[in-house]
Amino acid sequence: MTELKIQHILTLSYLLSKGAKYNYVSITTSSLGKNIKKSQQAASKHLLELEQNQFIERIISGRNISVKITSKGYSEMVKLSAILQKSLDSSPSHVELKGTLVSGMGEGAYYMGLKGYTKQFQSKIGYVPYPGTLNVRLDQKIHQEAIKQFETLNGVKINSFSDGKRTYGWVKCFNAKLNNSTNCELIILERTHHDDSIIELISKSCMRKTAKLKDGSKVSIKIPINS
């Protein structure tokens, strides 16, 4: 049995969108090539190969080409769709980061205690964090790259504010779990003195104590992604 080739999937997808499951649809190789971003010659070759393998039927009258997808062609597309859907559904719905606990600069306790932040933390994430952040160094490039997506993802936003003397930047919070046991929030800051390899976590209590951690401890952080 001939299997559907990957280069033909776009062609069949386009034909399906034009109604070729039940009807003979009129197409030109130039318009097909344009829609699947291939040359006219490639589009013509695709149609010939699809016909030879009984994935489509063609009626050619002069320069007019009418095409209909066969039951075999449609069946192959359904199988492909099921495989893709299964893969998408089984994809992990969280980001997992791993790193090493390091000491911070001591600024977290000050900023986390500011009223402009604490009021918003209480109303938006349900608690006022322990004064101070847990700093984790992401040692591997894969984790340093993975964290970058949170800059554009929607978290719980703690708005920026001013105390009349200076303006303090916004904070985005993402629900997370440290070492599969401690509930916390990954925070993304509008302004930070850390480089991209350092992430900060906040929690209700001191995570160094509750999770029995010290500088150099290896930790994992899982952050659920709401799609």
Which pLDDT tens digit goes with each residue over 183-210? 999 999 888 777 889 999 999 999 999 9
Residues 6+ away with beta carbon under 8 Å from 180: 220, 222
Return the bridge partners of 27, or none.
65
Higher pLDDT: 135 or 107? It is: 135
Q: Measured over all CA atoms, what is the biggest interatomic distance in the chain, rounded to whole angstroms?
A: 81
Q: Around 146, how many Cα atoms within 13 Å sit in the side-chain half-sphere?
A: 17
Whether the predicted pLDDT of 91 surpasses 90: no
Place of tokens 């998408």: 88
For the chain, the structural domain boundaries read 6-89, 94-224
According to CATH, the topology of domain 6-89 is Arc Repressor Mutant, subunit A (1.10.10)
pTM above 0.75, yes or no: no
Average pLDDT over all residues of the chain: 91
According to CATH, the topology of domain 94-224 is Elongation Factor Tu (Ef-tu); domain 3 (2.40.30)
- For CA atoms 82, 87, 88, 93, the dihedral sign is positive
| pLDDT-derived band at 1, boundaries 50, 70, 90 | very low
